[in-house]
Structure 1
């Protein structure tokens, strides 16, 4: 959308009783919650379901824990149906980073010990890859993918780093800092032709993409259900296919260790697994209330509107183009370039996030890439156009002042 086009605000979503969608959450009304993508937000119905499950666990723990593996196996069937995968391929893990750690712990060096990542990778997952490379006596090769790279350019940038010494490729399906897709299907197919396993970090994909594993050509995929899926936090899926999946074990050894994959992930001592069991309540709530397809359309239209309104406000303030050229944009997320001097590194961006929460009463995501700071818009069904109009009117001028402070 160009600066001269008129941005059309979507009509806010409502609950069945006509109340605003936000009424189904317990989010503090004194704050503007504009950063769903980082930690998600759990609807009241799922909070109640998890509380009910915890009460059941505490009433009879000696009954609860022996029965837990069977209940988790049944829950995996429901979650696999949502992701449109085979339940026999899906294990439950606390988050996408944990899923990546499971894979790192399982793999052995077979070639030169090199691991290919990208400069858009999530920091914790990349750190795990670096630790694995040190253990192997190898190294990490970082594919540089320009923010504006289209599918072909991104594919070429990543596959150019795959060689005879490569033992693993780690690539994001949706990047956290830059809110863009990477062509994981094509990259996976290219790596498979060279006999190299691929781990796809799909942390943001469940709920944001309708079929995140369609046309999958990779060995491992891990994604959070507690982000866009709104499940209780600590709920993620690890999907593994092919012979390497038999090497995967949970991070905690327990009595299910000799069970096959993925059953052995269903028994991990006294782990509080109520987040897993309550996850279907969140997914079902969105489906019953609006339908996931309609929810995604709303989130995408709202993110588009938000980026236009906020970007126009920054442009009026600074006289500079605030639009971000993102080569493979994703639904529900957008980038807006910040004024020079703000959020130039991850540490600066995190500090900006914390200051905005304290001083502006806004929960917002600030990110950085290649030395440039961005506001990352990540809209969900409880957000409204008024949230972003408020940010444009009240917060953008203050951020402009903060940028000028950096130059003093």
Structure 2
């Protein structure tokens, strides 16, 4: 080929390369939210309604959701627990089934899910039907003193169930054991995998003790260290969640709802005692809380933090809207991004609260999540969230 003929050929190749770059899809550069679905509706649920869901995914198409149903008017934070699963990516959900039934003696305060390999686990906190709290406690909180438990306290037992068929059926784990603590509550799932040979699960207990439980077999759990100042009047931390630190993979970070912005602590493993030493809680300058409700916090497979929370302001402020933020390693937290706002009057029931609240999520591929939350105290909702392309 002569030099005179080569130039037009090279120019044509350059133009085609540029055009190909413009026409072919490039890497994602923004978040994606899609597939909103109402999994379950109950417009006449007793107590405080259909609440506090959790979700575990076993693939992009398979997931199981659990939630608590209220018992009777005037009761809060107690009920029975149901579940539903999907095998087609969330387009359809199974008929709700019973995970934990209430009895004449007991009801259930919470349920949290976890996955280890192909086995799913459900942690449940039990509360009595009869009022077992000190005299005057119900009256002080505005509940009638009629001998009936109205506020889901005390939590006097922790139980474990297991599923080996992607959450389609569940069996008791009768030999599970947990430390004896006042009102032990599990509101966040364990960090993924084993850390120093043990599963690490966040807990909180009275009086606002925020720490971690440790287990090598998912059945026998022991206390593994707690944050000193969770009950400080300026902190009032609770419903904590944990993740492996972005800054140091040998450390854990804990995030909890708090009186001001979210409470943040870093934990360092102590090899001699085989426990975790936690720094005092500090208020994160950009993670909103106001103690409104439990946020969701995790680190995804790309090393990115995800924080889903209520937008409302003021101590125990409104729960109408859910936002989220993301943070890549070495970067600042993103601005707030819209996630859910279904509080329009036509979407709410007459007895519902009209809020979007208590989110939980599970990652099925790096940066890609199933997210579930309660809406209006009458419905359990689900969306997909993809933050793999978040800037």
| TM-score when normalising by structure 1 | 0.25
User: Which is richer in helix?
Assistant: 1
| TM-score when normalising by structure 2 | 0.26
**Structure exhibiting the larger radius of gyration computed from Cα positions:** 2
